Amino acid sequence: MNGSVCLSCQAIERYLGEEESRVHALRGVSLDLEPGSIHAVVGPSGCGKSTLLYILGLLDPPDAGRVSIESEAMSHLGDDELARKRNQLIGFIFQFHFLMEDFSAQENVMIPMRRLGRLSDEAMRERAAVLLGAVGLGDKLRRPSRHLSGGEQQRVAIARALANDPRVILADEPTGNLDTANSERAFELLQNIVQQGQKALLLATHNPVIAEACDWIHEMQDGRIIASHPRGQRSLGA
Amino acid sequence: MSPPLYIALRFLSHRKRALLLSLSGVVFGVGIFICTQAQTQGFARYFIDSTIGSNGALVIRSRFRPRYKALMVAAKSSNTNAAHRLYFEGITDANQIMRVSRRFSNVVSCSPVLRGQLSARAGFENATVDLFGIDPVLHSQTTDLLHELIAGSFDDFRNNTSSVIVGSRLAEELGVDIGDTVQLLSPGGEYWRFTVAAIARAGVGSIDSTRIYSHARVAQTLLQKPFGASMIIYKLRDPDRAPALANHFENLFQHVSTSWQEREESTLQLFLMLRVSAAITVSLIILLAGFGIFNVLTMSVLAKVKEIAILRSMGYRRIDISAIFLWQGALVAAAGSVLGCLLGALMTWGVGHIPIRIRGLLYANHFLVTWDWRHYFWATVLAIVAVFIASYVPARRAAELAPVVTLRGSSV
């Protein structure tokens, strides 16, 4: 993994729960994401995929280890500064798309932009329309998010993740709630975005087809990355 | 528009029933607060205006001089002014006191009064009356006597020294009307005959049921007083400053000076107690409205846990999250206060038109209300404070929600 690094983590440790129910969720996980690359994290449920994503997305602090974005260490930052970094540098896509139900598709995409506050209301609307057009929803801008199909909602979530032109996209089972056709379509969309925008994408998935299509596959088990393979070499390495 | 305000507006507009519930609590709380204050203060204001209008904002009466003996032996218990003074009935030099006191900027006018208790008789009816011997011109300038006349003519009284103005309830009691004769019994045991020139209604029961006005010189002869005035009553530009002026006059003229606040202290305290009691009752309504908002916003936080996690994942700070819920409270408080003030004004207007026959302490034929911007101000302040407190806890709770817990609950 050569070249510049968008996002990096070293020796991440994370415990979840309290006392008897305390679980060692991540055990010394290290990872580097380069611009224009797509990384898949695979593994059984409960192996720590989502926990890793939340730590890399600055939503959850690690108990030990270090996260850097664009070579800047995040460990010492306060809650407000972490929120600002999340807003500027990271786009999240969740399995259940997690749209704001009271808002239209366009308004959902505008929510991160409003927080950033760099664009006028008109410019935000325009950018949201462009992003939704890029995911094939140009004709459903004003439709309330709850009136969209599952596939459409996930595409709105993808557009929303790109709203502030982040350097890193983190996707937790982005196709887990979609049928095969919609899964492939959503993944192709993400591939294009990553390649064209030189962004880094890390996705946690159970879908082997999608995992195989990524540049790197990281296999996780019991909170550890037990193997990392470039595309097409998983069977050799396994 | 800030992002939290934008989101707060959207959250509110999509929970119409909850919004209506919160809003109605604030609206009714503010409205009822204003209306009850308008009523209770309405009666108090009417009483104050009437008593100042009839008896003046400040009164100077008995002359006093220090009791030198008391100064030599200072007893612990005799620390009041009264214990150190010797009092003499009447005003020694009323004209000089009036001339000096007119130089005070707060004094509009003053009028000497010779006052005495007498028995009155008209036909077969008898009553004890409070005789006010007045200078008609000065008294009409100093008091509201001209406006208080409900029958007869002030000019008839002014031009006829053997005429009197009778209080309305006293006139009813004696069964006299304009042109009738009233007999006043002098301390010497002689009945003096007077013609009723006018009937006055001050609106205060204690005045209307006892007061008779006559000319000062006639009163002096009738009452057999050696002095021409037993008190001087004052009309002031700012009646609220009467206590300070009374204190000053007392030291300056060595005569007992009493402000209207001191004179009517017991009645004013009664009104104040009623106002405070009503304010406490209505504040509880507003607090209940605040409790309603607390419940609605707490439910809203629980219902929006997912949205809060999404917003946090998109870079919204804790302070933004709490601002969303505080804004919801603020919007409810603002809209509730405006609508509540309108409702309060409407209720005050309606209550002011309710016919009611009051013939006791006050004379009124309908509910007395007062229009005071401070009622609206304090009702709004109270609503805002109650709603802020009610919103603060849910807002803080929302800000403290860990987004990962919500997100983890949805994806393992």
Out of A42-46, A166-170, B285-289, B373-377, least confident range: B285-289
Interval A69-75 mean pLDDT: 84
φ and ψ of A201, to 5 deg: -125, 130
**The pLDDT of residue B168 is above 90:** yes
**The pLDDT of residue A3 is above 70:** no
Q: How many angstroms away from the CA of A86 is the closest CA of chain B?
A: 5
Is the domain of B173 the same as that of B65?
yes
Pick from A83, A96, A98: which is nearest to B315 by CB? A83
Residue A2 burial by Cβ neighbours in a 10 Å radius (0-12, 13-18, 19+): exposed
Q: How many angstroms away from the CA of A46 is the closest CA of chain B?
A: 6
**The pLDDT of residue B273 is above 70:** yes
Tokens of B97: 């006191």
If one compares A154 and B184, the residue with the highest pLDDT of the two is: B184
pLDDT of residue A122: 92
Cα–Cα distance list, A226 to A230, A238, B232, B258 (Å): 14, 10, 105, 96
Please provide the average confidence, as pLDDT, over all residues in chain A. 85
pLDDT of residue A236: 38
The per-residue pLDDT for range B89-126, each reduced to its tens digit, is: 888 788 999 999 999 999 999 999 999 999 999 988 88
Q: In this structure, are residues B292 and B383 in contact, taking their beta carbons and an 8 Å threshold?
A: no
If one compares A59 and B178, the residue with the highest pLDDT of the two is: B178
Which among B211, B242, B263 is the end of a domain? B263
Q: Which of A52, A39, A191, A163 is nearest to A107 (CA)?
A: A163
Pick from B315, B403, B407: which is nearest to A115 by CB? B315
pLDDT of residue A237: 41
Rounded CA-CA distance A200/A75 in Å is: 20
pLDDT of residue B81: 59
Q: Which of A209, A115, A146, A161 is nearest to B324 (CA)?
A: A115
For residue B312, the chain A residue with the least C-alpha distance is A83
**The pLDDT of residue B74 is above 60:** no
pLDDT of residue B165: 96
pLDDT of residue A235: 56
Options 3.90.550.10, 3.30.70.20, 3.30.2090.10, 3.40.50.300; which CATH number does A7-237 get?
3.40.50.300
Question: What does DSSP assign to residue A146?
Answer: G
Break chain A down into helix, strand, coil percent, rounded to 5. 40, 25, 35
Please, what is the angle between helix A105-116 and helix B3-13, to 10°?
150
- CB burial readout B355-371, b (16+ within 10 A) else e: eeebeeebbbeebbbbe
Chain mean position to CA A77: 21
Residues of chain B in contact with residue A50, where contact means CB-CB under 8 angstroms, are 407-408, 411-412
For residue B9, the chain A residue with the least C-alpha distance is A102
Pick from B307, B315, B320: which is nearest to A86 by CB? B315
Interval B68-78 mean pLDDT: 53
Is the domain of B21 the same as that of B78?
no
Is the domain of B112 the same as that of B87?
yes
Residues of chain A in contact with residue B306, where contact means CB-CB under 8 angstroms, are 98
Which among B231, B263, B295 is the end of a domain? B263
Rounded CA-CA distance B228/B91 in Å is: 8
**The pLDDT of residue B70 is above 60:** no
Q: Where are the domains of chain A?
A: 7-237
The per-residue pLDDT for range A48-70, each reduced to its tens digit, is: 888 899 899 888 888 899 988 88
Q: In this structure, are residues A70 and A102 in contact, taking their beta carbons and an 8 Å threshold?
A: no
pLDDT of residue A238: 39
pLDDT of residue A197: 82
Q: Which of A122, A25, A63, A189 is nearest to B412 (CA)?
A: A25
Q: Do A45 and B312 touch (CB under 8 A)?
A: no
Question: Binning pLDDT at 50, 70 and 90, where does residue B411 land?
Answer: very low
Host H or E run for residue B59: strand B58-66
Mutate to test the interface with B, among A60, A84, A169, A220 (most CBs of B within 10 A): A60
For residue B8, the chain A residue with the least C-alpha distance is A102
Is the domain of B244 the same as that of B123?
yes
Interval B47-72 mean pLDDT: 80
The per-residue pLDDT for range A80-91, each reduced to its tens digit, is: 899 999 898 999
Give B361-394 as a DSSP string: SBEEEE------HHHHHHHHHHHHHHHHHHHHHH
Tokens of B228: 């021409």
Cα–Cα distance list, B141 to B26, B61, B378 (Å): 47, 19, 37
- What range defines the domain where residue B394 resides? 3-52+267-410
Interval B18-31 mean pLDDT: 84
Interval B337-359 mean pLDDT: 89
Mutate to test the interface with A, among B311, B411, B412 (most CBs of A within 10 A): B411
**The pLDDT of residue B18 is above 80:** no
The per-residue pLDDT for range A166-220, each reduced to its tens digit, is: 989 998 887 776 777 777 877 888 888 888 888 899 998 888 888 888 888 999 9
Q: Do A116 and B315 touch (CB under 8 A)?
A: yes
3-state secondary structure at position B218: helix
pLDDT of residue B307: 83
Percent of chain B beyond pLDDT 70?
A: 95
Question: Binning pLDDT at 50, 70 and 90, where does residue B248 land?
Answer: very high
Residue B261 burial by Cβ neighbours in a 10 Å radius (0-12, 13-18, 19+): middle
Rounded CA-CA distance A75/A62 in Å is: 9
Percent of chain B beyond pLDDT 90?
A: 40
A interface with B, Cβ–Cβ below 8 Å: 45-46, 50-51, 54, 57, 59-60, 79-80, 83-88, 90, 92, 94-96, 98-103, 107, 111-112, 114-117, 160, 164, 172-173, 176
Is the domain of B23 the same as that of B69?
no
Is the domain of B75 the same as that of B220?
yes
Out of A76-80, B64-68, B218-222, least confident range: B64-68
**The pLDDT of residue B76 is above 60:** no
Is the domain of B99 the same as that of B217?
yes
pLDDT of residue B410: 54
Tokens of B19: 């919004």
**The pLDDT of residue A38 is above 60:** yes
Which among B224, B241, B263 is the end of a domain? B263
Question: Binning pLDDT at 50, 70 and 90, where does residue B189 land?
Answer: confident
Residues of chain B in contact with residue A112, where contact means CB-CB under 8 angstroms, are 314-315
* Prediction ipTM score: 0.85
The per-residue pLDDT for range B293-335, each reduced to its tens digit, is: 777 777 777 777 888 888 888 889 989 998 998 898 889 889 9
**Tally of domains in chain B:** 2
Residues of chain B in contact with residue A84, where contact means CB-CB under 8 angstroms, are 315, 317
Is the domain of B238 the same as that of B293?
no
Q: How many angstroms away from the CA of A193 is the closest CA of chain B?
A: 19
**The pLDDT of residue A1 is above 50:** no
B interface with A, Cβ–Cβ below 8 Å: 3, 6-7, 10-11, 13-14, 306-307, 309-320, 403-404, 407-408, 410-412
SS (H, E, C) B299-360: HHHHHCHHHHHHHHHCCCCHHHHHHHHHHHHHHHHHHHHHHHHHHHHHHHHHHCCCEEEEEC
The per-residue pLDDT for range B371-403, each reduced to its tens digit, is: 989 989 998 998 888 888 888 888 888 888 878
Out of A137-146, B138-147, B244-253, B296-305, least confident range: B296-305
